[in-house]
Amino acid sequence: MPIGFYFSPSSFPIDAYDKTLKDLETAGVGAPAGRLYHFALEIGTNVHVFDIWDSQESFEAFGGTLLPILAAEGVDPGEPMVSPIHNIIVGS
C-alpha cells in the first residue's frame, strides 16, 4: 500500500528547495526508486513537500541521501505527517 509523507518545515525557502533538487540530481537520486509522486507546494516564500512512496523502506533509503543535503542547506524538515494512501485518481 502506498504511503503519503507531508513535510511542512518552518523554513524551506524556494531557492534552497531548488538547490536541493540539483544536489539530489548530482547524487543520482533525482527520481529515486520507490517514489511514486512528488509535489512541492509554495506557501508564501517557503516550500512544503508531499510525496507518495511505495513503502516506508524506500522512503527511508532515500532519506540517507536527502537528510545530509538538507542539513547542508540549513533546512530542518521536521517530522512528516505520514498516512496510508486510501485512493489516487489520475486525471486524463
Walk me through the domains of the chain, giving residue ranges and CATH numbers: 3-76 (3.30.70.100)
What's the pTM value of the predicted model, to 2 decimals? Answer: 0.92
| pLDDT, tens digit, 9 for 90 and up, residues 28-72 | 999 999 999 999 999 999 999 999 999 999 999 999 999 999 999
Within 10 angstroms of residue 70's Cβ, the number of other Cβ atoms is 19
In percent, the amount of the chain with pLDDT more than 90 equals: 98
- Segment 79-87 shows an average pLDDT of 96
Helix axes 14-26, 56-72, angle to 10 degrees: 110
> What's the confidence (pLDDT) of residue 15?
96
Separation of alpha carbons 88 and 91, rounded Å: 10
Separation of alpha carbons 78 and 76, rounded Å: 5
Residue 9: pLDDT band (50, 70, 90) is: very high
> What's the confidence (pLDDT) of residue 40?
98
